[in-house]
Amino acid sequence: MFRSIVAGVLIGTVSTISYAASLEEVVTQGLSSSPDVQRAINSRNAVYQEVRQAKAGYLPSVDVTAGYGYEWTNNTTTRANGNDDVELMRGEAGLSIRQMIFDGFATSSEVSRQKARAHSADKRLVETAESYALDAARSYIELNRRNTLLQQAKETLYNHVKIYDQIKRRSESGLGALASIQQAEGRLALAEVNVLAAENNMLDAKATFQRITGMAAPEDMVFPELVNVTIPSTLTEATEVAMSNHPTLQVAEADTIAAVAQYDAAKRNYYPRVDFEVDRTWNNDLDGVNGINEDLTAMFRMRYNLYNGGGDQARVRQTQHQIEEAKAVQSNSHREVLQSVELSWNAYSILSRQLPHLEQHVASSQETRNSYQKQFNIGQRSLLDLLDTENEVFSSKNDLTNALHDQLAAQYRVVNGMGTLLDTLNLSLPEPNLGDVKPKQALADAK
């Protein structure tokens, strides 16, 4: 019952409307401009470029060299020709082609590592976006909460003004005591303080909303209920969904796979490296000899390091420890996700059970206030009784409003804990950008 009243208050009591925005619109717009999300997007795109770099190891390398300049030569050839030294203008040109045949599985392992890092970056982007969506939802819900509490404080102030005016008229007609006016004045002052406190909290909520979303707080809001979403009825069901969907777990898993691939790549120097090399040179006036000197070679070459001070073994042991580190991070992530889901689901469950009792409290306190008002008018209740019931209504409404918004925030936390908040809000993330980024354009965008 009170939920529909709260929704109506939020929409109908706004005096100045600058723009209207639902939570989905806020998150969608903020997602495209959030610095954290943009950082994660560019970090993901950068890793995809590292995948392309790693795959380049499968392809040939082609180099061209050229040079022209002065050469002074004194060697056995020049002396055999009767010259102690020879000065020539030397010209060089060369073409080299290198194709890796076998590199100890270094390239294949590096490609696997970078692909795992790309998958991790994809899921880290989802994790960042999910975190932003939850923060934006919380700030929007808090804005709703503070707006509702402000309206209720103003309503209570209005009721206290009516009571004060009624007591003042009685006193002026000789029916009211001075103490009654003083009581009414004291409660009226407290109601005014409550309005000012609520206004301050509303300003804080607006500042928080703007910090998180980068947008000014909307004056007209839509009550942010989750629609077409079924919260699991048990903690076990929520946990099962989280274990299969949560991006934090997928990030940790991908990082472990990347660490294993890095270990495989570290063993490359245990094997010989074989390349196919083609070299073609076009030289002129070389080493003191006038004329053209050309050369062409096509060779399979093997290189095998036999000893480098134990560096290769140390590198392998290093990557073994990094695998264990990644596994520990994965285990910790598993625990954190379980804790997050449990805390969120417990809060949602308890608050859902509290709401009917709080709604009954509001209804009962309102009925009591109305009865006391009638009894006060015929002299059967004191002013203090009437003021106390008014405060009881105010307090009960505030308790229900807080519980209602806490329960709503808990719903979003449960969905976020299961890793499905973006899907719930029908939000999508951009595909990886594999094209070139122009530095000048990026700088202009930054400005």
Pairwise CA distance, residues 7 & 137, whole Å: 16
User: pLDDT (tens digit, 9 = 90+) per residue, 389-410?
Assistant: 888 999 999 999 999 999 999 9
Question: Would you give the DSSP letter of residue 268?
Answer: G
At residue 442, the pLDDT reads: 43
At residue 19, the pLDDT reads: 52
Residue 63 β-bridge partners? 96
Q: How far is CA 274 from CA 55, 99, 101, 102, 145, in A?
A: 18, 9, 5, 5, 69
Residue written as tokens 């909303």?
209
User: pLDDT (tens digit, 9 = 90+) per residue, 87-127?
Assistant: 889 999 999 999 999 999 999 999 999 999 999 999 999 99
Q: Tell me: pLDDT of 18 over 90.
A: no
Confidence of residue 7 (pLDDT cuts 50, 70, 90): very low
b/e 4-31 (16+ beta carbons within 10 angstroms → b): eebbebbeeebeeeeeebebbebbbebb
Domain ranges of the chain: 2-61+107-268+329-446
Q: Which two tokens stand for residue 190?
A: 């407290």
Q: Assign domain 2-61+107-268+329-446 one CATH number from 3.40.50.1700, 3.40.50.300, 1.20.1600.10, 2.40.30.20.
A: 1.20.1600.10
Greatest extent of the chain over all pairs of C-alpha atoms, in Å: 140
Confidence of residue 178 (pLDDT cuts 50, 70, 90): low
Q: Which two tokens stand for residue 371?
A: 């009865």
Question: Would you give the DSSP letter of residue 311?
Answer: H
- For the entire predicted model, the pTM comes to 0.82
